[in-house]
Amino acid sequence: MAEIVSLAEAVGRAIHDGDAVAMEGFTHLIPFAAGHEIIRQRRRGLTLIRMTPDVIYDQLIGAGCARKLIFSWGGNPGVGSLHRFRDAVENAWPASLELEEHSHAGMANRYVAGASGLPFAVLRGYNGTGLAEVTPTIAPVTCPFTGEILTAVSALRPDVAVIHAQRADRAGNVQLWGITGVQKEAVLSSERAVVTVEQIVDVLDPRPGAVVLPAWTVTYVAQVPGGAHPSYALGYSARDNDYYAAWDAISRDRDAFTSWLAVLMKNAL
Amino acid sequence: MSDMYSSDEIMTVSAARALRDGLTCFVGIGLPSAAANLARATHAPGLVLIYESGTIGAKPGLLPLSIGDGILAETADAVVSVPEIFNYWLQPGRIDIGFLGAAQIDKFGNINTTVVGGDYGRPKVRLPGAGGAPEIAASCREVIVVVRQTRRSFVDRVDFVTSVGYGSGPGDRERLGLTGAGPRQIITDLGVLEPDPETLEFTLTGLYPGITVDTVRERTGWDLAVSASPQAIAPPTADELTALRDLHARSNTA
């Protein structure tokens, strides 16, 4: 059953050095505040899992939290490169970064398999691509009914899922709407789940198209208004496109990034 | 006004013209998204825009910076989860056109957005990676690629095959079990390339005003074949340019 705690407590209790951590949110509802708390608490050796490791994972990688990245698209959307990610891969700064690389369809299906309690998922994909050659969690599989050769991808089973949602009630039931991405699958495939929310309310009145995660699927809920910034929470905030554009210059330069990191470490929530 | 336009503008207009009204279109961000939204604002108001964030039938009215901007969800006919958009909508071949960009593309229309130079584990340049492109390239009924043409981006063989075009030539898509027909056009800032019906090698078939065959060949990293009579592509009309500039203006001030 979900416990309502502070963000610092949620991160401190749920996320340990060496854990596999899936922080999801497809452009919308990215759990930035939780990512910053992980940096502040100096977690190390993490396997970071995320379909689109955009600015949030650029920050965690630059801060030295990550050992390995499991992903499908590592760019700053609409802006360009993630320079901390590139510096880690191209120059091993601040440390080398092991990659396990998929397509979006592959990653989404890996979460589906994890949420379904299956060892793998099947899709039509990857045939003829270089990814099938460099990624060991992609393999051919033969359909037992038609003989067709399809592609299997192994299940994702993270230690912790971290997501941001619009609302929770006082029992810890969580509600999110708008672009809901792969968050339900990330939570259900993980051992533990941390959810930050814009607002804790008495009653979760129904919303069109909302995903509801019952309290017993969530480990910790923390109220963090604006916790998705510079991403956004539909109905609460708008995407801060200027932040994404400004991140390019910070990320491009090790000294500028180091200064940014020093300020983050000083500013507790 | 119609004789004053940038190379990006004629590329975007040319790509928009390739989208017929009423088609369903899986849209990548950047140049493809600008062209798809221009088509919807001009000759193809019934074009169905589908973004990998799960927004089906988005009608943004300005150019989103990312594939998950709020305006896409707010204007969509339906918003579905990311597993659903790939499994139920893209994979079965329901979508007419995949509209993609590229960092590197080769003569068989294979796309690289993963690594350039060095080896995979320690590349010279690490690019963002695949995103939704491999399955868009495999499963849409056909694919159109929009990319600026340079000798660095148009190569004989891509360093890494992120998304398959025609592989190494005729028969490869069938052998690999790729259900869509593959890339039908590469639309660049110089003109249009289309696959030769026999060899499937991309061939210059259309030129923008003032662009010569020699210029295109200089900016191509393989020995580019040229069709017998490349089509002279009409410059953007005043209406097309106004619509495109309005989209950009609304996006910059939004």
Quote the minimal CA–CA distance from B231 to chain A in Å: 33
Contacts of B100 in chain A (CB under 8 A): none
pLDDT value at B122 more than 60: yes
Closest A-chain CA to B135? A125
pLDDT tens sequence across A173-213: 999 999 999 999 999 999 999 999 999 999 999 998 899 99
At B253, the pLDDT band (50, 70, 90 cuts) reads: low
Question: Is B112:A212 a contact under the CB 8 Å cutoff?
Answer: no
Query: B125: part of which helix (H) or strand (E)?
Result: strand B123-126
Residue type, B223: D
pLDDT at B3: 62
> Mapped to the 3 state alphabet, what secondary structure does B204-254 carry?
EEEECCCCCHHHHHHCCCCCCEEEEEEEECCCCCHHHHHHHHHHHHHHHHC
For chain B positions 77-96, those within 8 Å of chain A (CB to CB) are 79, 81-83, 86-87, 90-91
- Give dist(CA A59, CA A257) in Å, integer: 9
- Give dist(CA B128, CA A52) in Å, integer: 9
Contact status of B230 with chain A (Cβ, < 8 Å) = no
At B2, the pLDDT band (50, 70, 90 cuts) reads: very low
Closest B-chain CA to A82? B128
Both tokens of residue A165? Answer: 């949602």
SS3 assignment, position A101: strand
Residues above pLDDT 90, as percent of chain B:
90
Closest A-chain CA to B64? A78
At A13, the pLDDT band (50, 70, 90 cuts) reads: very high
Quote the minimal CA–CA distance from A126 to chain B in Å: 7
Contacts of A93 in chain B (CB under 8 A): none
Contacts of B72 in chain A (CB under 8 A): 179
Q: Is residue B217 part of a domain?
A: yes
Both tokens of residue A241? Answer: 């496109």
> Given 3.30.70.20, 3.40.1080.10, 1.10.1740.10, 3.40.50.620, which CATH number is that of A3-102+157-266?
3.40.1080.10
Rounded to an integer, the average pLDDT of A228-232 is: 97
pLDDT at B168: 97
Closest B-chain CA to A105? B86
Quote the minimal CA–CA distance from A128 to chain B in Å: 6
Lowest mean pLDDT among A13-17, A128-132, B28-32: B28-32
DSSP β-bridge partners for residue A221: A4, A195
What's the CA angle centered on B62, arms A227 and B26, to 5 degrees?
Answer: 85
Contact status of A243 with chain B (Cβ, < 8 Å) = no
pLDDT at A269: 54
Rounded to an integer, the average pLDDT of A2-22 is: 98
Question: Which of A73, A109, A239 is facing B130, going by the closest CB pair?
Answer: A73
For the beta sheet containing B202-207, the strands, ordered from the edge strand earlier in sequence to the opposite edge, are B78-79, B55-56, B48-51, B24-27, B97-100, B142-146, B183-187, B191-195, B202-207, B225-232
For chain B positions 17-36, those within 8 Å of chain A (CB to CB) are 29-30
Contact status of B128 with chain A (Cβ, < 8 Å) = yes
Please enumerate, as own/partner, the contacts of A241-245 that have beta carbons within 8 Å and a separation of 24 or more: A241/A78, A241/B65, A243/A55, A244/A54, A244/A55, A244/A76, A244/A77, A244/A78, A244/A79, A244/B65, A244/B66, A245/A79
The count of structural domains within chain B is 1
Q: Indicate yes or no: CB of B177 within 8 angstroms of CB of A149.
A: yes
pLDDT value at A238 more than 60: yes
User: Token pair 């990191």 is at which residue?
Assistant: A261
DSSP β-bridge partners for residue B183: B143
DSSP β-bridge partners for residue A110: none
Q: Is residue B213 part of a domain?
A: yes
- Give dist(CA A79, CA A180) in Å, integer: 23
Both tokens of residue B92? Answer: 């079965």
Q: Is residue B228 part of a domain?
A: yes
Give buried/exposed letters for B203-227 (b at 16+ CB in 10 A, else e): bbbbbbeebeeeebeebbbbebeee
For chain A positions 50-79, those within 8 Å of chain B (CB to CB) are 51-52, 71-75, 77-79
Of A143, A71, A67, A58, nearest in space to A101 by CA: A71
Tell me how many residue pairs between chain A and chain B have CB atoms under 8 A apart: 170
Question: Is B137:B86 a contact under the CB 8 Å cutoff?
Answer: no
Q: Is residue B172 part of a domain?
A: yes
pLDDT tens sequence across A45-91: 999 999 999 999 999 999 999 999 999 999 998 899 999 999 999 99
Closest A-chain CA to B168? A128
Q: Indicate yes or no: CB of B176 within 8 angstroms of CB of A75.
A: no
- Give dist(CA A196, CA A159) in Å, integer: 17
pLDDT at B172: 97
Question: Is A160:A14 a contact under the CB 8 Å cutoff?
Answer: yes
Q: Is residue B43 part of a domain?
A: yes
Domain, as residue range, for B67: 7-253
**Dihedrals phi, psi of A200, to nearest 5 degrees:** -105, 125
Question: Which of A90, A130, A232 is facing B70, going by the closest CB pair?
Answer: A232
Question: pLDDT averaged over chain A?
Answer: 97
Question: Which of A81, A105, A182 is facing B135, going by the closest CB pair?
Answer: A105
Which of B80, B86, B110, B140 is most worth mutating to test chain A (most A CB atoms within 10 A of its CB)?
B86
Rounded to an integer, the average pLDDT of A143-156 is: 97
pLDDT value at B57 more than 80: yes
Kindly report the CATH number assigned to the domain that includes residue B249: 3.40.1080.10
- Give dist(CA A88, CA A96) in Å, integer: 6
Closest B-chain CA to A211? B81
pLDDT tens sequence across A104-122: 999 999 999 999 999 999 9
Q: Is residue B78 part of a domain?
A: yes
Please identify every residue of B annotated as catalytic: 52
Cα A90 to chain center, whole Å?
23
Rounded to an integer, the average pLDDT of A117-131 is: 97
Rounded to an integer, the average pLDDT of B125-146 is: 96
Domain boundaries, chain A: 3-102+157-266, 105-154
pLDDT value at B82 more than 80: yes
Angle at which helix B238-253 crosses helix B7-17, to 10 degrees, equals: 110
Both tokens of residue A46? Answer: 């993490």
SS3 assignment, position A79: coil
Contact status of B70 with chain A (Cβ, < 8 Å) = yes
- Give dist(CA B37, CA B249) in Å, integer: 13
Residue type, B16: A
Question: Is A27:A231 a contact under the CB 8 Å cutoff?
Answer: yes
Contacts of B26 in chain A (CB under 8 A): none
- Give dist(CA B254, CA B244) in Å, integer: 15
pLDDT at A78: 84
Q: Sign of torsion, CA A55 B83 A113 B110?
A: negative
